[in-house]
Structure 1
Amino acid sequence: MIAPDFAGVEEQMWIWLFAMIRPGAMMMAAPIFSATSIPIQLRLILSLAIGMAGVSSGTLDLPIDNIISLEGFLFVAGEVLVGVAIGFALQIGYSASFVAGEVISNAMGLGFAMMIDPQTGRSTPVLGNFLSIVATLLLLAMDGHLMLIAILVNSYTILPPGDAFMSAASIHGLVNFGGTLFAMGLVIALPVGSAIILVQVIMAMLARSAPSLNLFAVGLPVALLGGLLLLAISAPIMANGIMHALQDGLGQSALIAGGQ
């Protein structure tokens, strides 16, 4: 027999457990939160804190037959889908910096230079890694991580747990936004990439006019020096492009959280 003072503890624990699903799924896909350097214990604590705040602002009706049922499975599937979609929308805007780094690296001849990305733990081009760090700092500077948490908490009101299934418009909007990833990356890389291509064209003209000129011995250093100089000059413009991509990602996350 359960003591009267502990009669509602089990139900409250289940509510908190189900409330943690959506924030936990968001942290699996969102930048910064999904970094391999973030301990699992910290993610669980953040998921519980965000889930408790979300439940207090909305409603949560537990499945009648608990989690081991069709209703419980649909409950968990809906929460996971919404959480991953909200985090993945911001991840798309964040990944534009990787695309820009890939384009600039190939133009400069640094496509072979790889480094370990601290976010994913995988090998990425040097400039892609550099721009991803810049994107992380800009996201933190603009309080993007707090904005994402606020968007997730607000989603509990519009998409209450148990009825949190994405509409066809939300899925279509997320797919279309994913298609703009390469466009955003090219916009970020345009100031440097276009200038380096012009340098490559000039070097090709020189090689054509002077066949004895060793293009590999001269062209690569020129492209590297020109690329580094252009990166220093166009850094403010590229930072603005990265911030616009992050803002677009947060906007798409807000649309998903609003059921649009």
Structure 2
Amino acid sequence: MSPLGFGLSIEPQLWALIFVMVRVGAAFVAAPVFSAVGIPLVVRVTLSGAIGVLVLTAHPITPPEHVFALATILAVAAEALVGLALGFVLQIAFAAPMIASELIGTSMGIGFASAIDPQNGKSTPALGQFFSMMLTLLFLSVNGHLILVEMIVKSYVALPPGGAWLKPQQLENIAFFGGYTFLAGLLLALPVGFLLLCLNLIVGMISRSAPSLNLFAVGLPASLAVGVVALALGFPAMGDYLLVIIDEGLAATQSLVLG
């Protein structure tokens, strides 16, 4: 076969692979774990290509005929929207520990303690980094990353290319799922937050009965000590609820793909 004929035979396949990689790559950009700053761009592109090959072998994907056309631009935008939605739903669930860390850290008096989070490269509370790290480890331990890849592959059946625009009901479900972040954050912080609230009530009553007492010398160390003990006692239950958050995020992703 001539080189020209070989080039003509491989070009449609390469265009189909690039077209499939748009949805997969967009999901990896928005999804937790895969979007971490520590993962090099080359690794993400390679994973997108490998999963794209699996998608092409499992489902017959027909990309748009003309690369530079309005219909092609709309199709690529639809693919990117679906991929971003799949990753963003999980990202919403992963934001719950940050809300819990803000509530607990403020009550303990360590709300000012923050550092650069290696996951997203932004400044986050130190307690939030701990919760985020534990949530990531639990997500990997239950094979959540593999379930996400499976949902991406299944999305080509429920949302085939060319008709992949999300319906208003699906966008509404994503918006309403954002409220779950605040609910999960409050429930995650409830065991420690309740004990710290009781401590603040006790310190408030002491300040009324003994106004000359220096509350900063008593209240801050007491809040810190009670917070650390409450975290140690309540973390088994908090770990179980972190698994519930992961299940809810994966269930919301499955609902977006399969309805």
**Fold match (TM-score > 0.5):** yes
Q: What is the alpha-carbon root mean square deviation over aligned residues?
A: 1.2
Distance in 1 (CA, whole Å) between partners of 2:94 and 2:58 is 29
Per-residue CA deviations over 1:129-187 (Å, capped at 9, x if unaligned) read: 11001111110111111111111111111111222111122111111101221011001
Distance in 2 (CA, whole Å) between partners of 1:208 and 1:256 is 54
Aligned to 2:51: 50
Distance in 2 (CA, whole Å) between partners of 1:179 and 1:54 is 33
Aligned to 1:240: 240
Aligned to 2:40: 39
Letter in 1 for 2:28: M
Distance in 2 (CA, whole Å) between partners of 1:58 and 1:170 is 23
- Aligned residues of 1:55 and 1:156 also touching (Cα < 8 A): no
Distance in 2 (CA, whole Å) between partners of 1:163 and 1:34 is 26
Q: Which consecutive segments of 4 or more residues in structure 1 shift more than 6 A?
A: none
Alignment of 1:1-260 (within 5 A): 3-66=4-67, 68-258=68-258, 260=259
Distance in 1 (CA, whole Å) between partners of 2:230 and 2:81 is 42
- Aligned residues of 1:100 and 1:186 also touching (Cα < 8 A): yes
Scaled by the length of structure 2, the TM-score of the pair is: 0.96
Scaled by the length of structure 1, the TM-score of the pair is: 0.96
Secondary structure of 1:20 counterpart:
helix
Secondary structure of 1:46 counterpart:
helix
Per-residue CA deviations over 1:42-63 (Å, capped at 9, x if unaligned) read: 0000001111212222232221
Letter in 1 for 2:24: P
- Aligned residues of 1:22 and 1:80 also touching (Cα < 8 A): yes
The number of equivalent residue pairs is 258
Question: What is the CA-CA distance between 1:96 and the residue it aligns to?
Answer: 0.7
Letter in 1 for 2:157: T
- Aligned residues of 1:59 and 1:156 also touching (Cα < 8 A): no
Structure 2 unaligned blocks of 5 or more: none
Secondary structure of 1:87 counterpart:
helix
